Amino acid sequence: MPEVFVSRIDDFAEGDRRIVFHGGLEIGVFHWQGTYYAYENQCLHQGGPCCEGVIMHKVEDVLAPDKTWLGQRFSADEAHFVCPWHGYEYDIRTGECVGNRKLRLKSFEVLRRGDDLYVVAS
């Protein structure tokens, strides 16, 4: 299976992303909290470039012990990337569609070879 060069490790900052191409395939590669994740850059909704949208922490409701709503906050644990076409959100660690966790983007293996990063385009 072909290995596609993504970036030198030193040039790929924490919280950054790269889009790589292999044939007709586009793959979004994310560097998030010390780990690399790669997904097909095609939204499950209508084929938009989902990996190119904003990256944001999940918004969570804050509830009091009696279950009354106190407001919202950003999650410390979960982050999403948002398709710029229609706002579909995907979990950056799993590729799951946040609105329907049964739906998941195609993922790809990310390899480190010395100081370089590659994705296995299968």
Assigned token pair, 90: 């995907």
Residue 91 dihedral angles phi and psi, to the nearest 5°: -70, 125
Could you tell me the pTM of the whole model? 0.90
DSSP state of 24: T
What number is the average pLDDT over the span 78-92? Answer: 95
Q: Which residue do the tokens 């009696």 mark?
A: 66
Tell me the domain boundaries of the chain: 3-120
Architecture per CATH, 3-120: 3-layer Sandwich (2.102)
Per-residue pLDDT of 96-121, as tens digits, reads 999 999 999 999 999 999 999 999 99
- pLDDT surpasses 90 at 41: yes
**Rounded Cα gap, residues 56 and 62, in angstroms:** 18
Per-residue pLDDT of 43-63, as tens digits, reads 999 999 999 999 999 999 999
Residue 115 dihedral angles phi and psi, to the nearest 5°: -95, 10
Q: Is 78 helix (H, G, I), strand (E, B) or coil?
A: strand
